[in-house]
Amino acid sequence: QTPLHVAASMGSEEICSVMLSFQANVNAVDVHGETPLHKAAAQGHVGIVRMLLEEGADCMANSKQQTPLHKAAQRGHSGIVREMLREG
């Protein structure tokens, strides 16, 4: 995991914003094929999901063929589901 993965998972919008301003790789994958967007979506952090999408985060599937949208839906994060569907 990258520091951006950790910050996204923990819900730290400020740290994510700082990392992105220093060109952190928004689409970096961990050993499970998950991006920071997967982490934020799974934890219900809608502000971070929005931030990552605005920075061009890809909604690719992880190694289990789950997209960030799948992760959010499985955990009942309807705000994130709406945000991701709105972004396309």
Please tell me the predicted confidence (pLDDT) of residue 87.
Answer: 80
- What is the count of structural domains for the chain? 1
For the record, the structure tokens of 85 come out as: 């569907």
- pTM for this entry: 0.95
**87 or 30, which is more confident?**
30
43: containing domain: 3-87
One-letter amino acid for residue 10 of the chain? M
| pLDDT band per the 50, 70, 90 thresholds, residue 10 | very high
CA distance 76 to 88: 19
Q: What is the CATH number of the domain that holds 81?
A: 1.25.40.20
pLDDT tens, position by position, 15-73: 999 999 999 999 999 999 999 999 999 999 999 999 999 999 999 999 999 999 999 99
